[in-house]
Amino acid sequence: MSLKKNPERLAWIILSIAFASFCFLAVSIPLGIRWYIINATQVHKTSLAAVRGTVQVQEPEARVPSALTGTKDDVPEGSTIRTDATSQAFVEFFEDSTLHLYNETQVTILKTQSPRFGLSSKPDTIVLEVTEGRVRIGVALSMESRLDFQVQSPYAAVELEDGSYSVEVSSEEFQLTVRDGRAKIIAMGKMVELGRGERTTVETGREPLGPLPAERDLIVNGDFKEPLTKGWRAYHSQVDDREVSGKAEILIVGDRQVVRFWRMGKAANHGETGIVQVIDKDVRDFTSLELYISVRLLDQSLSGAGYLSSEFPIIVRVDYKDPYGNDQFWTRGFYFKDPIENWPILNGEKIPRFVWYPYESANLMEKLGDVKPAFITSVRIYASGWDYQSMVSEVQLLAKE
């Protein structure tokens, strides 16, 4: 029987479809509105200031980067910020979190979004990608909304709670230090959680280490368990080439791996034998910098430190740039043979002969005041004078954020 011949049946079908459509719309429209209210977002622009030098900003629609020497309040999502060897930058996000870019650093702002409507329970979201360099991150605490703050890198993904953090990315590893707050780091399927005063490192293709103490050693191969070519460069110089040359070599003395500095041949003119390690490390964000070294003096023919207080049988020297960009250095010398009367001893101390003497410096970030280190250039350990024989072991330059 056709529907035309049965109008009642047709009417019921039409009524059923209409009712089903009504029910669908009655449910789906409120659900759609609710979904939109919950998930709708607004994208925020970011404030950027060049703290020092010229900062490069590559916006997503621009073909070439722009140079910034002042401030810019409308950096869009997707922009890449880069500093060079002479520049630094400061970023402030829409919810008051901050980002400090140090020298030779590149960061991309992947996402800066918040819910469009106050009824949404979704968090504010900030996602950054740090591809190289060093940044200080301040994640703001908000009583009004939650924040999902993420940091991505070639090595690891990070989630940060409110607090203060430093992130460093090199060609070899990723490093995160928690000054205050909590962080989760995920790499190669493993997650590490960090609290205040802890850090982790992630090497290429490896799981994160730690939690490790925030304090780190800037010296490579300071225990001399590997050849001197690992981290160090040995050298010797002297005034008179006819006199015996000095040498620096690794020896095993008891349970120690040591470096011995040796020049014994009744020399009567200046010579210098040492090892040097290039550090090239920005430390202006550190609160503590202390040097540790064990010293053993065996022989010295020149009294004290010479008449200029510059020729000790062992000297440790840290070369650095101060906060104003000036070249500076800090030294400490050791001797056992009393100086001739009126010969001064500056930045040195007398220690017992033939005894291992552990030396710990004061916190150089406090001791050196206005000319404290901002960038460590190198560390040099050397013997200087006429004849000398001395040893060092367990060298550390410990930095804490």
Same domain flag for 248 and 385: yes
Residue 18 Cα distances to 33, 121, 334, angstroms: 22, 35, 97
76 with 202, same domain: the answer is yes
Tokens (6 digits) for 151:
């940091």
- Domains in the chain, number: 2
Q: Same structural domain for residues 62 and 204? A: yes
What is the distance between the alpha carbons of residues 326 and 189, in angstroms, rounded to a whole number? 45
Which stretches in the chain have pLDDT values below 70? Answer: 1-7, 9-11, 19, 22, 25-27, 30-40, 118-120
CATH number reported for the structural domain that contains residue 383 in this entry: 2.60.120
pLDDT for 11: 67
pTM of the model: 0.69
Q: Is residue 258 part of a domain?
A: yes
CB burial readout 144-175, b (16+ within 10 A) else e:
eeebebbbebebbebebeebbbbbbbeeebbb
- Residue 164 sits in which domain range? 43-213
396, 284: one domain: yes
Domain final residue pick, 213, 243, 269: 213
CATH of the domain at 70: 2.60.120.1440
- 3-class DSSP state for residue 87? coil
Chain segment 211-234, per-residue pLDDT in tens:
988 788 999 999 999 999 999 999
Is residue 54 a part of any domain in this protein?
yes
Residue 261 included in any domain: yes
Q: Which helix (H) or strand (E) segment is 258 a member of?
A: strand 256-263
**195 and 242, same structural domain?**
no
115 in a structural domain: yes
Whether residue 23 lies inside any domain: the answer is no
Residues 208, 250: one domain? no
- Residues 75 and 182 reside in one and the same domain: yes
The tens digit of pLDDT for each residue in 85-137 reads: 889 898 999 988 989 898 899 999 999 998 877 666 788 999 999 999 989 89
Residue 8 lies in a domain: no
Residue 230's CB is within 10 A of a number of other CB atoms, namely 11
Q: Do 141 and 67 belong to one domain?
A: yes
